[in-house]
Chain A
Amino acid sequence: MFESLSSKLEKAFKTLKGQGKISEINVAETVKEIRKALIDADVNYKIAKQFTDTVKEKALGQNVLTSVTPGQLLTKIVNDELTLLLGGKTEEINLVGSPAVILMAGLQGSGKTTHSAKLANYIKKKGRTVMMSACDVYRPAAIEQLKVLGEQIGVPVYFEEGNNNPVSIAQNALKAAKDQGASVLIVDTAGRLSVDEEMMAEIGNIKNAINPNEILFVVDSMTGQDAVNTAKAFNDVLDFSGVILTKLDGDTRGGAALSIKSVVNKPIKFVGMGEKMEALDQFHPDRMSQRILGMGDIVSLVERAQQVFDEEEADRIQKKLLKDQFTFEDFYTQIQQIKKMGNIKDLMAMIPGVGKAMKDIDISDDAFKGIEAIINSMTPGERKTPDIINGSRRKRIANGSGTDIQQVNQLLKQFEEMRKMMKTFSKMGGGGMPKGLMPKMPFGR
């Protein structure tokens, strides 16, 4: 059901081939696909419409360079525009004030209590003394929940058993924080619906009573079309200063982030990425934009690759490639490194455009088994100088590896092509290839 945008665009652009410029006619179908993809990702209907209008305007009349396809060009425009809309830089939390007061607000079940504690833990690790205040007097055991979390992270919790007035609890908590010399006070509140006037007035009163430095709107990243209404209603009452986007460790595309940003224009300051107290991260607009578009997470792939690849080894292989000294031994080493990066299918899915192609192919971690077996059946001499592998050697290798002669031939052919390609790259100058990443991988069967 949720085909990624890039694969949809690839489809839409099939009709576009051979056109020199992006024009009104050839862009219409594509813009429709982008809008559908945004709505599938839960971006608000109206915002998706506005957004695609902007993209269309920017795309019209652009020259399609020979080196990029119109699809790639438009994907880039969409991605850039989206990243821009989601906010430029990461914004830090404002902790000025003694104590600095942070008020948490949001719908029921968005994760306010959990994120009060996560935030307390985050601030505490920065060396500040934090106190939390339990002002959710409605949901059964909500106060108890904050107390338990406070204990876990070693942060004191101010609460008043039997007091049903959250405004006075918040006020008293502020006094207590001052008395005890806490430098940050986090005020947890009850979940409330934006149409509940009484409850919205109440949180307005809490705000007026404690004059917070930060008001954070806590919102579930799985929220659908209603995100705009809710965000606007909370902002109208509270004029909040930032957003925490929770449950982003799920598989939601998270279009709500764009809807909220467009409607209230407040920065997303944190994202919740799990149930552990440490699972609070800074917000990266570029990654979010790729997630909404279903473009695959190239950044994560590169980061994971960097963690696993041995820099020196990569350098050594790079040099060999350029000098056309790349052997089956080097190839074997590279396979081992790729295997270390994790499940092959997961990795491939992270590459934009590849996701779709790999959808129905079952690639297990055994994908390299045939190749490894063939290389293992070669003599050291054969691995170093593949040119010596003649007909009878091929037969022996096939027998030894439990494959057949066609498979051996195929691998040798692909290996030769790979070497040729590397030669071309080195002639083009500058190395051309990204460090450590292999060119076209010859997958065995």
Chain B
Amino acid sequence: MGIFSFFSKDKKEKLDQGLEKTKSSLFDKISKALVGKSTVDDDFLDQLEEILVTSDVGIETTLKIIDRIQKRVAADKYINSSELNKLLKDEIAKLFDESGLYENDFESEKSNKPYVIMVVGVNGVGKTTTIGKLAHQFKSTGKNVVLGAGDTFRAAAVQQLKIWGERNGVHVVEHGMNTDPASVAFDALKYATENNSDIVIIDTAGRLHNRVDLMNELGKIKRVMSKIIPDAPHEVLLVLDASTGQNAFEQAKQFTAATEVNALALTKLDGTAKGGVVIGIADLFKIPVKYIGVGEGIDDLQLFNKHEFVDSLFN
């Protein structure tokens, strides 16, 4: 079930149908995987490789997973097919374990008040939409939320965030288009402090991570915030599009270098893309995936669950 339980029944059935073939053949392979031996057969590993690679897990991480499976099987021996199935999912889920702890709900008290979230990412991944949905989640647990319209570059981005503000009934601090985003962030934090807000979420313009000037600008926005609240932003949320391939690694690397990213959001998981690239990213950079986006509606944001995510790769 997992992620897919949030689709309408129709869509879920469609998806399941489409995935049926892959699923049954992998499970066929698992049952044929030479029970009781200390090695897994090549056919099974080939099949596994295909599933992982076509989910955008990437070659390096795929080989790492396969290596782990082979070692476990060599050590444990006499493994049956259902055990192998479980072992496989466990080994993948483990890659998320060292990526840090994160709160399991939207209600719990945040470590700071106001708790400042800065949202970053390349163009078109869904930063503004994610902010709109995040604001809704926090608001519905009784928290007082303020948004900062820091995307002053893309045409009508401020307008887009203001509409989300209206939908949620939360205040949006904005200076209009083509203004200094750092000063928007500064004023948003100031407003939040003066009005005793619980959460501030700062939007930023999408930027490609190889643009040094624009990455420096992000660093500046971040620095300016600490003038109002010394340890702000408490959360730097990198938004990744589930349909992005291996370039997401570079995105994670460059945005982390510029702003010390400490949380990930994976969007557009309601499509056919699996977003497997976050497995390698969480493992390599030790950054936890916190949220997933599963649609355009205001409720379509969920907390990340590694087991459901891993299941979805094989379902």
Contact = CB atoms under 8 A, between A and B. Distances in A.
A148 B156 contact: yes
A406 B288 CA distance: 54
Interface string A44-61: 111000000000000000
Interface stretch (A85-93, A247-255, A306-314, A335-343): A247-255
Interface in B90-109: none
A146 B154 CA distance: 11
Given A193-B271, A197-B10, A108 B245 contact: no
Interface string B241-257: 10111111110000000
Given A39-B53, A40-B59, A250 B268 contact: no
Contact of A247 (B162, B177, B208, B273): B208
B273 A109 contact: no
B59 A224 contact: no
A224 B57 CA distance: 10
- Secondary structure at the A interface, as helix, strand, loop or mixed, is loop
A220 B59 contact: no
Contacts of B203: none
A105 interface: no
Contacts of A40: 58-59, 246
A251 B210 contact: yes
A20 to B, nearest CB: 32
B163 A141 contact: yes
Contact of B243 (A196, A226, A275): A226
A418 interface: no
Interface string A28-54: 000000001001111011100000000
A247 B209 CA distance: 11
A71 interface: no
With most chain A CB atoms within 10 A of its CB, the pick from B14, B126, B154, B162 is B154
With most chain B CB atoms within 10 A of its CB, the pick from A107, A141, A147, A247 is A141
A195 interface: yes
Contacts of A224: 56, 243-246, 248, 273, 277
Contact of A223 (B10, B15, B159, B244): B244
Contacts of A138: 296
Interface of B: 10-11, 14-15, 50, 53-56, 58-60, 122-126, 129, 132, 153-157, 159-160, 162-164, 177, 208-210, 241, 243-250, 268, 270-274, 277, 296
7 contacts: A1-B60, A41-B246, A148-B155, A195-B271, A222-B244, A224-B244, A251-B247
Interface of A: 1-2, 36, 39-42, 44-46, 107-111, 138-142, 144-149, 152, 193-197, 220, 222-227, 229-230, 233, 247, 249-253, 255-256, 275
Given A108-B126, A275-B123, 4 more contacts: A144-B156, A227-B245, A247-B208, A249-B208
